Structure 1
């Protein structure tokens, strides 16, 4: 169900499975006059995998001069093999380098990735102006673009219609205040109002903070948890969990999913990958956009994985042509309808086929409002695991927000190298 990876994977991994056999060697054409062969590595082994396979199949059909061999393997395997493979020129032409979008930085430092130059609005160009917000900046270093979003997922509010009806609540919450009120009202009769995870999960708590006017770090990578706004944004939900018992404490993402799937929680913040599992579990499922924040703004968390080109590829033009096809409107429409994921573009909110799909339309409508988690923050993974996750664990168990944020700020600033 939920994407489970401490690096915030958009697509979870299982056993390594190859879509096509691919060795660790630089690509070459099948013959002197034959088509070019691009080798691609990805970690997309989850339920969205058929969507990526379809992209490859359709691309080859429309580009007979280019073949694509896509190998699917666990993220850990890619992260172990890819750095040395690209340094020696023995790796794939294109790779989803990690489930962590910040990982592109390490390949930029070692000159292992190609700066993408074939951008624009042409048919075979990467239209960066239409990509999901934050993604172009996330993959840009020193003014050069080194990757594109392989996918983009937004978080929405799942709710159990049956439990809402039993509690006398007609509609899902529209505002953050209503979300808090409903969470309390729905916590009754052995049911929790909301199922919140704080570890081994794609983060839900930053969304709550943003809606309450707070944040984790500023543009310099310095913690703002200890500021009055930061503390206030955590206090409401810390109290609701620690004192109001609206959610179990210390849940992993999988545990939070199971609680909602079993009908023991009325709400959960989750991504599009969860919908099929909840439906098959028999949940009387409703999906709504994330409620608006205290100032009336709309925001949710967006997650992505980067797709980059090897600096040593023999086929930079064809590789970028493949990325342009991958991010095109027609491709993204087909991918969304097949997988339930929203498109990674901002110019498809009025797409008739997507708006007609009740699941896709909710997630797609929030693409323009989505924010990435800890973008361009040095050591973002450790900021999450060593700073933010322990913070949420403390405040939901009764530690004062003032004390917990002070400790978390010291940890975070030490990791990012912040010196205010």
Structure 2
């Protein structure tokens, strides 16, 4: 997760709340009757904000403009979802033509609100067969109820970073592949000081740590969040209880929630030189593909490597999969230059050379089948772990929902209570969680 995405977390929550209102809004009607060969200026809003990220996107736009001499692209960086959604609801000349978001959770609302245009007609008339271009999981998280209102613009996959020096010291010869191995290795890797406090934990399970959002580890159980009617079914899925029970067991095996949470508060900022994995306060850590570049830039003072996250013991044959998410891009429904806008979206998302160059520039996973296999991709084996995870057919992304990311927030809040020992009856708690998610969904649809 680039720093710009980290900064976007608060705006994501606000955008989710705003989008509930957007479901009842009537966005300005644009036009798909424009001639994409005529001179035009498009406005492209995105959320990237660091110098390297902005250079990469600006270089991409320059390559596009050289191919389309009649189209000028005005790029506006560091736009939050909240700002974007307000502008799209208002419409008018100040609204963007092309928009991108780091929030795949909100795709269901982007589609159902009508603020993002359906891209299927554009794909069809320009001969782009989306099933041949994009991996299925990425198509799934960019569509909702049959409407492809977004396309993937690079992806993120999550895996395990581990300290090879610590492994050697503990006599561990390979990274864990199952959850029981993860618990065993976490205990073996944990080190304490003379007064009994932690010097290092094998794997910090706390859901509040950095990228440890519960939905990311839960992906290894391949959960089904909703039934065919869109109703939450977390209480009915045995994997939910198995996942939460494992979390409790992992916490207890390393000393209990209180001591672990106290140790977590000593960790530095995720994106700083005081990151807990970089400072060797954790020996194993779940993170995305971007972390490798940061570790190399920081000249980590220990050997490290990457691997897929472990899987449940009864699903050992699925080892290699992981959690997927990424950036999405679409066309504002209010745009009066939708055909020209599609030319930009098509170039950024389907041109193999462009996707590979952009992926290498910001160290993200490419989002097309052809780009994932390109020999021009970064050859670093620690990065290619994440490419394999992205191509694994068992890898999982969050399903789109009409209530956007609210169901994920509800799961997070519930999981915080579970790991802290505040939920004596997990089954009862999950039934209440399902009811809450269904109520939120109903409200968003009315």
What is the match of residue 191 of structure 2? 188
Q: 2:74 aligns with which of 69, 74, 80?
A: 69
Q: Is the 8 A contact 2:154 2:359 kept in 1?
A: no
5+ residue gaps, structure 2: 13-29, 32-36, 193-198
Q: Once the 2 structures are TM-superposed, how far is the Cα of residue 331 of structure 1 from its aligned partner?
A: 1.1
Offset at 1:264? 0.4
Paired with 2:212 and 2:135, the residues of 1 have a C-alpha distance of: 19
Task: Flag the 1:379–1:203 CA change in 2: closer, same or farther, 3 A.
Answer: farther
Instruction: Count matched residues.
Output: 392
Conservation of the 8 A alpha-carbon contact between 1:154 and 1:301? yes
Give the Cα–Cα distance (whole angstroms) in 1 for the partners of residues 222 and 110 of structure 2: 34
2:366 counterpart SS class: coil
| Partner residue, 2:170 | 167
Q: Which residue of 2 aligns with 1:138?
A: 141
Task: Tell whether 2:311 aligns with 1:282.
Answer: no
- Answer whether contact 1:176 1:212 (CA < 8 A) is retained: no
For 2:24, the equivalent position in structure 1 comes to none
**CA distance in 2 between partners of 1:214 and 1:376 (Å):** 14
Could you tell me which of 343, 358, 373 is aligned with 2:366?
A: 343
Measure how far apart 1:322 and its partner are: 1.3
1:229 and 2:252 are equivalent in the alignment:
no
Report the structure, 1 or 2, having the larger helix content: 2
Residues 83 and 318 of structure 1: CA distance in aligned 2, closer, same or farther (over 3 Å): closer
* Contact 2:152/2:328, CA 8 A, preserved across alignment: yes
Moved more, 307-316 or 244-253: 244-253
Structure 2 length normalisation: TM-score?
0.76
For the residue of structure 2 that corresponds to 1:143, the secondary structure is: coil
- CA deviations on 1:317-348 (whole Å, 9 max, x unpaired) are 22111111111211111112212111011344
Cα offset for 1:72? Answer: 0.5
Residue in 1 aligned with 2:323? Answer: 301
| Inter-CA distance 229–146: structure 2 relative to 1 (3 Å threshold) | closer
Map of 1:238 onto structure 2: 248
Shift of 1:104: 4.1
Deviations 1:8-28 (A, max 9, x none): 97xxxxxxxxxxxxxxxx99x
* Distance in 1 between residues matched to 2:9 and 2:234, nearest whole Å: 22
Q: CA deviation at 1:177?
A: 3.0
3-state secondary structure, aligned to 1:249: helix
Once the two structures are superposed, the pairs formed by residues 66-105 of structure 1 within 5 Å of their partners are 66-76=71-81, 78-79=83-84, 81-86=86-91, 88-96=92-100, 98-105=101-108
Pick 1 or 2: higher relative contact order, CA cutoff 8 A, min separation 6.
2
Q: How many Å apart are 1:263 and its aligned residue? A: 0.8
Cα distance per residue 1:62-88 (max 9 Å; x no partner): 2222221110024155345423343x3
Q: Kindly tell me: are residues 37 and 384 of structure 1, through their superposed partners in 2, closer, same or farther at Cα, counting changes over 3 Å?
A: same
The structural deviation recorded for 1:231 is: 0.7
> Is residue 2:122 matched to residue 1:118?
yes
Separation in structure 2 between the aligned mates of residue 8 and residue 264 of structure 1, nearest angstrom: 30
SS of 2:285 mapped into structure 1: strand
Q: What is the RMSD computed on CA atoms of the aligned residues?
A: 3.4
